[in-house]
Amino acid sequence: MSRTVDGRSRDHIRPGVQVRIVQKKDQRSGRLTEGTVREILTGSSFHPHGIKVRLTDGTVGRVQEIGGPLR
């Protein structure tokens, strides 16, 4: 994906998509973790702090950015 998309809407998130998430332990610092979505955990179509996902490595967090080249 060539552009960055907002992570608060479930419409743009699906398994296999590359994302940057913030883990619970990193919420204060805002440190982002990069990875590929394995599973969507948030049931609603929108969440103000980001859709919660599990990455392929098992890490759980809320999506902050979707797409774009992973750094």
**Rounded mean pLDDT for each run of 10 residues along the chain, 71 residues in total:** 70 94 96 97 95 98 82 51
* Overall number of domains in the chain: 1
What pLDDT is attached to residue 1?
A: 39
Instruction: Residue 35: give the domain boundaries.
Output: 5-66
Nearest of 10, 12, 30, 29 to residue 21 by alpha carbon: 30
Question: How remote is the C-alpha of 6 from its chain's centroid?
Answer: 9
pTM of the model: 0.86
| Residue at 33 is within a domain | yes
| Residue at 71 is within a domain | no
Q: Domain of 34: which CATH number?
A: 2.30.30
| Residue at 47 is within a domain | yes
d(CA 66, CA 34): 10
